[in-house]
Homo-oligomer: A and B are copies of this chain.
Amino acid sequence: MPKIGMEPLRKRALIDAAIRAIGDRGSLDVTVAQIAQEAGVSAALAHHYFGGKEQLFLATMRHLLTELGQDLRSALHQATTPAARVAAVIAVNFSASQFAPQTVAAWLTFYIHAQQSEETRRLLRVYARRLHSNLAHALCQLTDRASAVAIAEGAGALIDGLYIRHALRNGAPDAVAAIALVEDYVATKLACGRKA
């Protein structure tokens, strides 16, 4: 056979190229040809390996989701106290790898695409549920269940909102400020949150 075992390498290269291309143009309107060129292969090869544009996109999203999950697991692993876990969950969402302008832009476009694609919507729900359950679980050890769920809900929305806002900022996104804002929210709610 030829240079055997190219498939995983090419797939990975194409996914990376897709993230870059989508992030650069800020839209899913990138052409398969553009992505392929960015990856240094022909458009035909992208079709050969992924079957179609939509599937390339879904694979790209799954990749992003997997990466986020790994970052999260690794961060939670070295957090011992409940408070540290909460901080870890928050921080991961604004970590360098997740908060890169291209990554943010890519996530944003997938949010939009979710309105047309059931599978994309499903993947996005996986992310939201995971974020929520991680936050709520850690918070449960710091307050009652109902409050924990409420705070997790608010913090999740806050994270999404900061994400979308920073995607529009012209200047460099300020991860530190974003983290501080969310942590302040959680801390304030924990300290003074009677009722919801």
Mark A residues whose CB is within 8 Å of B. 25-27, 29, 105, 108-109, 111-116, 121, 124-125, 128, 153-154, 156-165, 167-168, 180-181, 184-185, 188-189, 191-193, 196
Nearest-neighbor residue (CB-CB) of A128 within chain B? B165
**Within the complex, which residue of B111, B161, B188 is in contact with A157, where a contact is CB–CB below 8 Å?**
B161
Nearest-neighbor residue (CB-CB) of A168 within chain B? B114
CB–CB B168/A164 < 8 A: no
Query: Distance (Å) between the CB of A188 and the closest chain B CB?
Result: 6
Contacts of A26 in B (CB 8 A): 112, 114-116
Contacts of A185 in B (CB 8 A): 154, 185
**Within the complex, which residue of B27, B112, B157 is in contact with A181, where a contact is CB–CB below 8 Å?**
B157
Nearest-neighbor residue (CB-CB) of A25 within chain B? B116
CB–CB B108/A112 < 8 A: yes
Q: How far is the CA of A119 from the CA of B125 in the complex (A)?
A: 32
Contacts of A189 in B (CB 8 A): 188
Contacts of A188 in B (CB 8 A): 188-189, 192-193
Nearest-neighbor residue (CB-CB) of A108 within chain B? B112
**Within the complex, which residue of B157, B158, B181, B192 is in contact with A192, where a contact is CB–CB below 8 Å?**
B192
Contacts of A167 in B (CB 8 A): 111, 115
Nearest-neighbor residue (CB-CB) of A163 within chain B? B161
**Within the complex, which residue of B157, B165, B196 is in contact with A165, where a contact is CB–CB below 8 Å?**
B157
CB–CB A112/B161 < 8 A: no
CB–CB A108/B111 < 8 A: yes
Contacts of A124 in B (CB 8 A): 168
Q: How far is the CA of A93 from the CA of B116 in the complex (A)?
A: 24
CB–CB B105/A168 < 8 A: no
CB–CB A181/B168 < 8 A: no
CB–CB B168/A115 < 8 A: yes
Q: How far is the CA of A191 from the CA of B113 in the complex (A)?
A: 40
